[in-house]
């Protein structure tokens, strides 16, 4: 169908030249939908070679079996031809340059290996030309030689040709569109070595519709040069008088256009949806970050009721965004906040023992929540201990000891003793000591004979531990001293040595007194820090209010004060945030001052023009002044300019009537 609806005319000449046999070969086949034109030139040191003929015949047969304009098909045909020449080269090594041109009567593509050339002419001008696959061509391409290709000594030194046994890589071109009146010329080295390319262009520029006339002219031109060593030469031309036009082209074009438009619209919609989803996601992320900052601020300010509400919001937002790290952190914060609020409820209900238990649990939760609320919990524990009587501690210890938990009972008795010591309750302290004696007696009863034999060995260990504790206490290492005294007490308890145990407990009391004093100082420092942090937050809030109210000078003062307070608390991030807000307020103030100055200048100009009875100019200047005062927020001046405009209008009317 394609062939019958197009017009391709082919003519060629192929002669041996001055050689004994023609080593060139040209053949072509024109099928219904495809056509293939192949030119080959044998590369041989013998007088004759079958390489070109074998290569062309193989390519033509291979193409007839699988006609296609595909790049991969053309490359595979050339590779198969290369393998065929290698396999058939038994007596001599068969080698050939090749150029294969394939068309579907509307487009064309060519593949090449060697130095056979193709030139395509469109409307009398050169449209396309192939390049040799030779060392000379590479040198010219990289500007490493000035010798013309046709005279260069390396023009026959090829890096790609049929019959190459390793790294065979033919060139396959892109697909090109054919037009009516195109001319395609294929020729071998026997021709281009003696005829200049410009002369070839001139002949085809003046060509008629008959390719044989051009072939005859080209051959006459070659033979007129009478070259001394004329090799085999082949020239083939294909005149495309009419290309194939698809009758369904317009319908397909409309279909493709419709598909392209629909595809573009779909892509646009998808992109818009993706953008909106991204913006929506970013908004939710920013909201989550702001809520988390709010939670931390409330925790620092010990405002746990507000922190609980914000933390629950942040937890839901983190779940929605599937941010597991934020979700886990907010959940830990929420557990801590619940412990604190529950403890406070029990404390308010005067259930001090239960409150103490909840606060102690909260301390463990604080360690999992970035140590948030730890100072508050420690203060509340200290306050709660003040409301628990020594007798309550002892009664609780007796209950625990009766249950067999001697270690926990010991800790409770020590709390009772420490509380009595702080309250200077001698009777309570003695009761706690008696309870401890009972506990140690009970523990001594449980010792075996083997344990008693270890008593002598433990005495030395007790003395060493007490001595180490005394040395560490003298150096100010309270924690280390307490650890050493506790070790001495444990050894004494295990051995049943009451005297050593009493000495260790007295030493522990000294350590705990120092520890309590240190804890009190730390609590005072934390209270002061919390107070300063609350003041910084309040200053920032006042700055925001002043900024929103247009009082930019006050906003600067508040923001600067907040920045200094945050900086003193080593909150550099919050300090930088306040500093940025102060700079923004300063910029707003400067803009307002500039607007005020411009308004005053416009007002002055209006007054001057009004005095000169230039009512139009005065009205324009007064209107501008009114607009500037409005932007600056100066309502009093806006009213003045309104009165001035009314006066100008009145005087203008009077002046007009007088005239």
Mean pLDDT to the nearest integer, 593-619: 80
Residues 531 and 539: beta-carbon distance below 8 Å: no
Q: Residue 532 falls within a domain, yes or no?
A: no
Q: Are residues 376 and 281 in the same domain?
A: yes
Q: Are strands 7-15 and 233-242 parallel, antiparallel or unpaired?
A: antiparallel
Convert the pLDDT of each residue in 150-181 to its tens digit. Answer: 778 788 788 899 988 888 899 999 999 999 99
- 3-state SS record for 281-337: HHHHHHHHHHHHHHHHHHHHCCCHHHHHHHHHHHHHHHHHHCCHHHHHHHHHHHHHH
Q: Give the CATH number, domain containing residue 330.
A: 1.25.40
Q: Are residues 178 and 262 in the same domain?
A: no
Reading the block at residue 401, the tokens are: 């000891």
pLDDT of residue 648: 82
- The yes-or-no verdict on residue 377 having pLDDT over 90 is no
pLDDT of residue 430: 84
Smallest CA-to-CA distance from 51 within 74, 75, 72, 22 is with: 22
Looking at the structure of the chain, the number of domains it has is: 3
- The residue behind tokens 């790290």 is 325
Residues whose CB falls within 8 Å of the CB of residue 56, separated by 6 or more in sequence, listed in order: 25, 26, 27, 38, 39, 40, 98
Instruction: Read off the pLDDT band of 191 (50, 70, 90).
Output: very high
How far out from the chain centre does Cα 514 lie? 54
pLDDT of residue 34: 95
Q: Are residues 204 and 287 in the same domain?
A: no
Q: Residue 469 falls within a domain, yes or no?
A: no
Residues 190 and 19: beta-carbon distance below 8 Å: no
Q: Are residues 226 and 266 in the same domain?
A: no
**CA angle (488 as vertex; 486, 493 as ends), nearest 5:** 90
Q: Are residues 197 and 185 in the same domain?
A: yes
Q: Residue 122 falls within a domain, yes or no?
A: yes
Q: Are residues 54 and 164 in the same domain?
A: yes
pLDDT of residue 616: 84
Q: Are residues 83 and 168 in the same domain?
A: yes
pLDDT of residue 167: 85
Which of the two residues, 16 and 633, has the higher pLDDT score? Answer: 16
Q: Are residues 261 and 154 in the same domain?
A: no
Reading the block at residue 309, the tokens are: 């509400």
- Other Cβ atoms within 10 Å of 449 Cβ, number: 6
Q: Give the CATH number, domain containing residue 92.
A: 3.60.40.10
Burial of 551 per CB tally in 10 Å (0-12, 13-18, 19+): middle
Neighbour-count burial for 60-79, b at 16+ CB within 10 Å, e otherwise = bebbeeebbbeeebbebbbb
Reading the block at residue 403, the tokens are: 């249950």
Across 46-55, 140-149, 458-467, 498-507, least confident range: 498-507
* DSSP per-residue string spanning 178-223: --TTEEEEEE-HHHHTTS-HHHHHHHHHT--S-HHHHHHHHHHHHH
Q: Is 157 helix (H, G, I), strand (E, B) or coil?
A: coil
Reading the block at residue 541, the tokens are: 């809030």
Q: Residue 646 falls within a domain, yes or no?
A: yes
Q: Are strands 117-122 and 182-187 parallel, antiparallel or unpaired?
A: antiparallel
DSSP designation for 361: H
Q: Are residues 285 and 159 in the same domain?
A: no
Q: How far apart are CA 111 and CA 357, in angstroms?
A: 89
Smallest CA-to-CA distance from 333 within 318, 321, 357, 315 is with: 315
pLDDT of residue 355: 83
Summary mean pLDDT of the chain: 83
Q: Are residues 203 and 101 in the same domain?
A: yes
Residues whose CB falls within 8 Å of the CB of residue 496, separated by 6 or more in sequence, listed in order: 440, 443, 444, 447, 452, 455
Q: Residue 235 falls within a domain, yes or no?
A: yes
The most distant pair of C-alpha atoms in the chain lies apart, rounded to whole Å, by: 140
pLDDT of residue 45: 62
Q: How far apart are CA 38 and CA 157, in angstroms?
A: 22
Q: Residue 622 falls within a domain, yes or no?
A: yes
Mean pLDDT to the nearest integer, 516-541: 79
- The yes-or-no verdict on residue 344 having pLDDT over 80 is yes
Half-sphere CA count of 402, side-chain side, radius 13 A: 6
Out of 388, 408, 432, pick the residue that ends a domain. 388
pLDDT of residue 350: 79
How far out from the chain centre does Cα 377 lie? 42
pLDDT of residue 11: 95
Out of 245, 274, 302, pick the residue that ends a domain. 245
Instruction: Read off the pLDDT band of 482 (50, 70, 90).
Output: low
Out of 245, 278, 295, pick the residue that ends a domain. 245
Burial of 572 per CB tally in 10 Å (0-12, 13-18, 19+): exposed
List alpha helices for 142-210, DSSP H: 189-192, 197-205
DSSP designation for 114: S
Q: How far apart are CA 96 and CA 52, in angstroms?
A: 6
Across 34-38, 173-177, 515-519, 553-557, least confident range: 515-519
Convert the pLDDT of each residue in 384-441 to its tens digit. Answer: 776 777 777 787 778 778 888 787 778 778 877 877 777 677 777 888 888 888 887 8
DSSP designation for 45: S
Strand partners, 101: 37, 110
Q: Are residues 231 and 252 in the same domain?
A: no
Q: Are residues 217 and 365 in the same domain?
A: no
Mean pLDDT to the nearest integer, 493-513: 59
DSSP designation for 21: S
Neighbour-count burial for 596-611, b at 16+ CB within 10 Å, e otherwise = bebbbebbebbeebbe
Q: How far apart are CA 334 and CA 356, in angstroms?
A: 19
- The yes-or-no verdict on residue 361 having pLDDT over 90 is no
DSSP designation for 446: T
Mean pLDDT to the nearest integer, 44-71: 86
Mean pLDDT to the nearest integer, 28-46: 89
Across 22-26, 218-222, 507-511, 597-601, least confident range: 507-511
Reading the block at residue 168, the tokens are: 């065979």
Instruction: Read off the pLDDT band of 64 (50, 70, 90).
Output: very high
Reading the block at residue 424, the tokens are: 């200077």
Which of the two residues, 346 and 480, has the higher pLDDT score? Answer: 346
Q: Residue 585 falls within a domain, yes or no?
A: yes
**CA angle (643 as vertex; 639, 647 as ends), nearest 5:** 165
Q: How far apart are CA 77 and CA 58, in angstroms?
A: 9
Range of the domain at 172: 3-245
Q: What is the CA radius of gyration of the chain?
A: 51
Q: How far apart are CA 108 and CA 34, in angstroms?
A: 10
Q: Residue 399 falls within a domain, yes or no?
A: no
């Amino acid at each position: 169908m394609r062939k019958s609806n197009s017009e391709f005319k082919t003519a060629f000449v192929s002669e041996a030249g001055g050689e004994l046999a023609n080593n060139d070969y040209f053949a072509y086949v024109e099928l219904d939908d495809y056509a293939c034109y192949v030119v080959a030139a044998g590369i041989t040191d013998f007088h004759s070679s079958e390489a070109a003929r074998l290569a062309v015949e193989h390519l033509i047969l291979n193409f007839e079996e699988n006609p296609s304009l595909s790049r991969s098909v053309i490359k595979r045909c050339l590779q198969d031809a290369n393998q065929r020449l290698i396999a058939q080269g038994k007596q001599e090594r068969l080698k050939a340059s090749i150029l294969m041109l394939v068309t579907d009567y509307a487009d064309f593509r060519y593949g090449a290996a060697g130095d056979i050339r193709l030139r395509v002419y469109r409307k009398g001008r050169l449209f396309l030309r192939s390049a040799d696959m030779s060392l000379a061509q590479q040198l010219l391409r990289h500007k490493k030689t000035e010798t013309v290709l046709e005279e260069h000594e390396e023009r026959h030194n090829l890096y790609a040709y049929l019959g190459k046994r390793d790294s065979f890589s033919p060139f396959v071109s892109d697909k090109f569109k054919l037009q009516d009146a195109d001319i395609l010329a294929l020729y071998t080295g026997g021709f281009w070595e003696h005829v200049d390319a410009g002369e070839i262009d001139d002949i085809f520029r003046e060509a008629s519709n008959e390719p044989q006339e051009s072939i005859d002219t080209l051959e006459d031109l070659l033979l007129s040069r009478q070259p001394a060593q004329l090799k085999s030469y082949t020239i083939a031309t294909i005149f495309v008088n009419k290309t194939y036009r698809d009758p369904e082209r317009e319908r397909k074009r409309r279909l493709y256009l419709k598909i392209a438009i629909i595809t573009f619209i779909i892509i646009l919609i998808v992109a818009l949806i993706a953008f909106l989803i991204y913006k929506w996601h970013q908004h939710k992320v920013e909201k989550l970050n702001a809520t988390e900052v709010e939670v931390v601020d409330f925790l620092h300010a010990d405002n746990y009721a507000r922190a609980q509400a914000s933390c629950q919001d942040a937890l839901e937002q983190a779940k929605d965004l599937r941010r597991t790290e934020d979700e886990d952190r907010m959940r830990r914060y929420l557990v801590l906040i619940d412990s604190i609020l529950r403890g406070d409820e029990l404390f308010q209900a005067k259930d001090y023992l239960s409150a103490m238990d909840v606060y102690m649990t909260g301390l463990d939760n604080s360690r999992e929540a970035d140590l948030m609320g730890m100072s508050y919990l420690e203060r509340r524990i200290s306050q709660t201990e003040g409301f628990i009587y020594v007798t309550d501690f002892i009664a609780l210890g007796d209950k625990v000891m009766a249950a067999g938990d001697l270690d926990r009972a010991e800790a409770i008795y020590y709390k009772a003793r420490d509380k009595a010591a702080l309250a200077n309750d001698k009777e309570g302290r003695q009761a706690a000591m008696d309870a401890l004696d009972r506990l140690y007696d009970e523990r001594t009863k449980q010792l075996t004979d083997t344990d008693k034999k270890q008593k002598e060995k433990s005495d030395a260990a007790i003395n060493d531990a007490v001595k180490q504790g005394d040395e560490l206490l003298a150096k100010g290492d309270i924690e280390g001293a307490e650890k050493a005294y506790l070790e001495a007490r444990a050894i004494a308890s295990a051995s049943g040595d009451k005297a050593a145990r009493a000495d260790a407990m007295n030493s522990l009391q000294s350590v705990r007194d120092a520890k309590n004093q240190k804890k009190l100082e730390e609590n005072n420092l934390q209270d002061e820090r919390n107070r300063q942090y609350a003041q910084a937050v309040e200053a920032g809030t006042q700055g925001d209010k002043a900024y929103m109210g247009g009082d930019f000078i006050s906003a600067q003062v508040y923001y600067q004060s907040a920045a200094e307070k945050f900086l003193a608390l080593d909150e550099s991030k919050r300090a930088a945030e306040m500093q940025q807000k102060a700079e923004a307020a300063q910029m707003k103030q400067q803009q307002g001052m500039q607007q005020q100055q411009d308004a005053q200048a416009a007002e002055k100009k209006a007054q001057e023009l009004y005095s000169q009875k230039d009512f139009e100019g005065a009205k324009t200047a007064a209107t501008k002044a009114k607009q500037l005062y409005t932007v600056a927020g100066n309502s009093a001046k806006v009213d003045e300019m309104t009165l001035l405009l009314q006066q100008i209008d009145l005087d203008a009317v009077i002046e007009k009537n007088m005239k």
